Structure 1
Amino acid sequence: MRPPPVRVLRLGRAAYLDSLAAQGRCVRRHREASASSEAPHRLLLWEPSGPVFTLVAYPVLDLRRFGLPVRGYVAALESVAVAACRRLGLPQAAALPPPCTGVWLRGRKVCAIGIHCGRHITSHGLALNCCTDLTWFDHIVPCGLEGKEVTSLSRELQRHVSVEEATEPFLAAFQEVFNCTLMEGSPTEN
């Protein structure tokens, strides 16, 4: 059985709390409709308006409809980010075994993954560093991994890679990995 279609909601630049509220509305609507086969699967895309430049994706999916356990879902998100990196010209992108969840380029993390799954409905997701000011990571231990560096698509490709440039390869990779049809939606649908 083919997975259901996923509606892409492009939120643009948004404050974290606004994107979190939009995600919460999508999760609530999904749970309310979960008894029907018409539950609204969504992929929220947004760029934080704060001091980072990442493509952040929050899939709101019922994992039962996609036939995925939680660990399989994390692996699928890693596969999406790896495929997006490769489409952008970084064939060395790879997922590493736990505890190094995410996507890595020559030992540097380019994509962080952090999910939540309740009653089979996913929330949160991944952040793909596009043109991030990497000095901000000097003040934290990213993902709790001591001694690991963070990188960006721009650094690795040695040119500016905007969120807009990374979005279409990301969406193509998402559609391929999740074997689903993506449909454009309106941000007001969340």
Structure 2
Amino acid sequence: MSRGPVRVLRLGLRPYAEALRVQERCVRAARPGPGSSPGESVVLSEPAEPVYAWGLRGAPEAAEAARLRARGAGLAAARRGGRITFHGPGQLLAFPVLDLRRRRLPLRGYVAALEALVVRLSRRLGLPAARALPPPYTGVWVGDSKLCAIGVHCGHHITSHGLALNCCTDLTWFDHIVPCGLEGKGVTSLSRELGRHVAVEHVLQPFLDSFQEVFDCTLVFSEDPGD
């Protein structure tokens, strides 16, 4: 089955909740309906403020939530797999909204494709040590430290949520949680591993090049999330 282009929405520095709202509009637009022409998208943003978000495996206890909020972070529930993690400035959030049935791609294969995308991106930037690990260690790792977290949702074959890649993130925010519920593992960033400042804007084009290659698609660009 032929596929149309994937629309890229570059939100820039935006609140996490706003990126989620844009994603939900894209999900609705991707569902087939009377007189509609479904299309695929990828929403790219950088969280404007620190926030701790958790997936379907449960919210933090009230005492932990209060402790995290006292540090100046927001709290958010997300309809994705995975446990609690941190989102904040210096991190690239990518929410692909893709039709896995049209792509004939199983969910586990889709997660592996996201991992392959970030591994490819890392190599483009000069970090060949980045790699994917077998389950349950979802994401992309450098040694025992997670570089990129992945948590996805799929409903009616349409994906949402996706990945959070640490570019120049303040990693001390992760000290207050067990990221993704994995004890004894660390967190790292492109800036730390490459020994230079790597801003989100420096990563966007290599990310899009890798996205096109992994998902075998063409991209069109939209700056207006209301399109």
TM-score range normalised by the length of the shorter chain: over 0.9
Which residue does 1:158 correspond to in 2? Answer: 195
CA RMSD, 1 decimal: 1.6
Residues 61-107 of structure 1: CA deviation (Å, up to 9, x unaligned): 11112220100000000011111111010011100000100000122
* AA partner of residue 66 (structure 1): R
Which residue does 2:48 correspond to in 1? Answer: 49
* AA partner of residue 218 (structure 2): T
Which residue does 2:14 correspond to in 1? Answer: 14
- The alignment's TM-score, normalised by the length of structure 1, stands at 0.94
Distance in 2 (alpha carbons) for counterparts of 1:25 and 1:145: 32
The one of 138, 142, 148 aligned to 2:179 = 142
Distance in 2 (alpha carbons) for counterparts of 1:187 and 1:11: 8
Which residue does 1:130 correspond to in 2? Answer: 167
2:14–2:46: 8 Å Cα contact kept in structure 1? yes
Residues 103-130 of structure 1: CA deviation (Å, up to 9, x unaligned): 0012210000000000000000001100
Q: C-alpha displacement at 1:189, in angstroms?
A: 3.8
Distance in 2 (alpha carbons) for counterparts of 1:27 and 1:116: 11
- The runs of 5 or more residues in structure 2 that have no matched partner are 51-87
4+ aligned runs moved over 4 Å, structure 1: 32-36
Which residue does 1:182 correspond to in 2? Answer: 219
Flag the structure with larger Rg. 2
1:10–1:186: 8 Å Cα contact kept in structure 2? yes
SS in 2 for 1:68: coil
Identity rate, percent? 63
Distance in 1 (alpha carbons) for counterparts of 2:209 and 2:226: 22
- The runs of 5 or more residues in structure 1 that have no matched partner are none
2:44–2:92: 8 Å Cα contact kept in structure 1? yes
Distance in 2 (alpha carbons) for counterparts of 1:108 and 1:55: 17
Residues 148-183 of structure 1: CA deviation (Å, up to 9, x unaligned): 000000000011000000111111111000010111
Q: C-alpha displacement at 1:17, in angstroms?
A: 1.0
- The alignment's TM-score, normalised by the length of structure 2, stands at 0.79
Residues 7-46 of structure 1: CA deviation (Å, up to 9, x unaligned): 100011111111111111111121144986x411000000
Q: Pairwise mapping of residues 57-136 of structure 1 onto structure 2 (< 5 A)?
A: 57-136=94-173
Q: Which has the higher helix share?
A: 1
Distance in 2 (alpha carbons) for counterparts of 1:79 and 1:35: 36
2:22–2:225: 8 Å Cα contact kept in structure 1? no
Distance in 1 (alpha carbons) for counterparts of 2:40 and 2:107: 16
1:4–1:65: 8 Å Cα contact kept in structure 2? no
Distance in 2 (alpha carbons) for counterparts of 1:35 and 1:144: 44
* AA partner of residue 45 (structure 1): L
Distance in 2 (alpha carbons) for counterparts of 1:25 and 1:175: 22
